Amino acid sequence: MSANVTNADWAAVLSIAVLGATGLAVLVADLLARTFVRRYIAIAIAMIGIIAAGAIVFAQYGTHYSAFGGAFVVDYASVLFQGIVLLGALGSVILYGAIGEERRIAGALALMLWSACGAMLMSGAGNLMTIFLGLELLSLALYALCGIAERAGAHEAALKYLILSSTATGFLLYGMGLLFGATGSVALSALSNPALATNPIFWTGVGLFFVGIAFKLSLVPFHTWAPDVYEGAPLPVTAFMSVATKAGVLAVLVRVFLWSLPSQHVSDMLLPMWIVAGISMIVGNVGMLAQRDLKRMLAYSGIAQIGYILAALAGGSAEGFNAALYYFAAYSFMNLGAFAVAAMLSGDREEGSVIANYSGLGYRRPWAALAMTVFLLAMAGLPPTAGFLGKVFILRSSVETGYVWLAALLIVGTAISLYAYGRIVRAMYDRSTHPVPAAKPFVPLAALSAAICAIAVIALTFYPFSR
């Protein structure tokens, strides 16, 4: 790779730098700030930084070039994925307005921003090293985020996440090693060499690499950590994990497996991914059925939803990619919205994540209940939400590209999931008077976020892709 670095290279990662700097700024500001406003100052700074980064990212929309000798790529995909990462970060940061201990807010925010940096790095990663770097940056920050929370169960979650994630990273790393061995280069572009199509080392490498990816995406059978960690981690962190992390990892998945592999035998090479996706749809949705904790349920829901997204990618068609992106955007909004509603209802003990607390909500907090209904409808894939449209996109692309069995599994999974989501809706509109802890009357930031997400989830259905 050429050593000389141009300004264009720096421009490519400017947004990431801004985000990282914002993390530092938050910490510094926290030292100076007066006690009773520090929470809001920190959040404000973080949000400003995120929005600034977002502006920079979208300024690059439409441009296509690679920086640092191919280590980092700016293109349509990178911009969109980075956008979603920032969206996730924004939606999670805002939740700290309702949750968490005053004195730890700043640290948590900084960590979250840095973690987001990792995810953004992955979104544009052009070679194996960048991928690894971004992944580790993302993960380490997340371990810490779980660890520093004082919440009961957070530590256990941190430990489990640490050990299992590191193990998976080990597999991923070894896979990278094999790929490097097979190709003699760390650049993704080198993977597309037709000669590799029958190279056993290469195949093994691909397999191990996918293990690492599948773990981060919490696909069955590498999903086992997700429910526990989602339940244990603090609400904002869970929200972040469910959106930002997955955005970065998905970007890698697309780049490596869809755009870089040799075209020959590629369908054989990818078949296990689609099988895994199909299993995830079923297991994830079945897992939701008997849950009592909202975050845990959303973990299973996330497992299934990632399955849907992979189903869209299965064909490898452009339309499938669009479908996946659209559904993922919708997915981000509905998840962030659901977590926002949970935050609205949460006091210090996160009452909002206990499903039992939702019974009769429709009569106590009609607006919150309405928003929650919208998000659940969207997750279940019912109109008039983007969830429905996204699923139709996916169905169409997977049927057209001949993966009918994935479409069928998607429909079955959706049918099962309806029961689970329906349970919560039913609870919300049941007249049974359930003893409910005194939830905070009004959490402006969370409510705002919930409202925006609700509107977005419906607005996304208008004129999608009418270009």
Which residues inside 184-203 make contact with other proteins, applying CB under 8 A? 184-186, 197-198, 200, 203
Residue 157 near other proteins by CB under 8 A: yes
With tokens 């530590």, the residue in question is 155
- Between residue 221 and residue 250, which ones bind other proteins under the rule CB under 8 A? 221-222, 224-225, 227-229, 231-232
Closer residue to other proteins in complex, CB, 25/158: 158
Q: Binding to other proteins by residue 411, rule CB under 8 A?
A: yes
User: Does residue 272 have a cis peptide bond before it, meaning omega lies within 30 degrees of 0?
Assistant: no
* Residue 211 lies near other proteins (rule: CB under 8 A): yes
- Backbone φ, ψ for residue 79 (5° rounding): -60, -45
Q: Which is nearer to other proteins, 63 or 461 (CB)?
A: 461
Of residues 258 through 277, those in contact with other proteins by CB under 8 A are 265, 268-269, 271-272
Q: Per CB under 8 A, does 396 bind other proteins?
A: yes
- Residue 231 CB, shortest distance to other proteins, in Å, is 5
Residue 166 in contact with other proteins, rule: CB under 8 A: yes
d(CA 389, CA 394): 9
Q: How many helices (H) and strands (E) does the chain have?
A: 18, 2
Residues 6 or more apart whose CB falls under 8 angstroms from that of 386 comprise 326, 329, 330, 333, 334, 378, 456, 457, 458, 460, 461, 464
Say whether residue 160 binds other proteins (CB under 8 A).
yes
Q: Which of 107, 177, 262, 347 binds other proteins (CB under 8 A)?
A: 177
What HEC string does 207-226 produce? HHHHHHHHHHCCCCCCCCHH
* Stretch near other proteins under the rule CB under 8 A, chosen from 7-15, 36-44, 86-94, 220-228: 220-228
Given candidates 162, 253, 258, 277, which one binds other proteins under the rule CB under 8 A? 162
The least CB distance from residue 136 to other proteins, in Å, is 5
Write out the binding residues for other proteins, residues 284-323 only, by CB under 8 A.
Answer: 286-291, 296, 323
Q: CA 269 → CA 251, 265, 275, 425, distances in Å?
A: 19, 6, 12, 41
Q: Label residue 359 left, alpha or beta by phi (over 0 means left) and psi (-120 to 50 means alpha).
A: beta
SS3 342: helix
Q: Are 378 and 330 in contact (CB under 8 A)?
A: yes
Contact call for residue 140 and other proteins (CB under 8 A): yes
Q: Which residue has the tokens 């270009």?
A: 467
Size of the site for other proteins (CB under 8 A): 99
Interaction residues for other proteins, span 364-383 (CB under 8 A): 382-383
Shorter beta-carbon distance to other proteins: residue 181 or 444? 181
Does 393 sit near other proteins (CB under 8 A)? yes
How buried is residue 263: exposed, middle or buried, by Cβ count under 10 Å (0-12/13-18/19+)?
exposed
C-alpha 351/C-alpha 342 separation (Å) is 8
Closest distance between other proteins and the C-beta of residue 310, in Å?
Answer: 15
In sequence order, what are the beta bridge partners of 293? 354
Our CB check for other proteins shows the closer of 34 and 467 to be 467
- Is the CB of 9 or the CB of 319 nearer to other proteins? 319
Residue 466 CB, shortest distance to other proteins, in Å, is: 5
69 touches other proteins (CB under 8 A) = no
**Least gap, CB of 293 to other proteins (angstroms):** 8
Pick the closer one to other proteins by CB: 87 or 288: 288
Distance CA 197, CA 182 (A): 11
CB 204 within 8 A of CB 168: no
Per-residue binder mask for other proteins (CB under 8 A), 118-137, x = binder: ----------xx--xx--x-
Residue 462 makes contact with other proteins by CB under 8 A: yes
Collect all residues with Cβ–Cβ distance below 8 Å to 172 and sequence separation of at least 6.
132, 135, 208, 209, 211, 212, 213, 215
The region of 178-186, 306-314, 334-342, 347-355 touching other proteins under the rule CB under 8 A is: 178-186
Is residue 419 a contact point for other proteins (CB under 8 A)? yes
Q: What's the closest the beta carbon of residue 127 comes to other proteins, in angstroms?
A: 8
CA 81 to CA 244: how far, in whole Å? 9
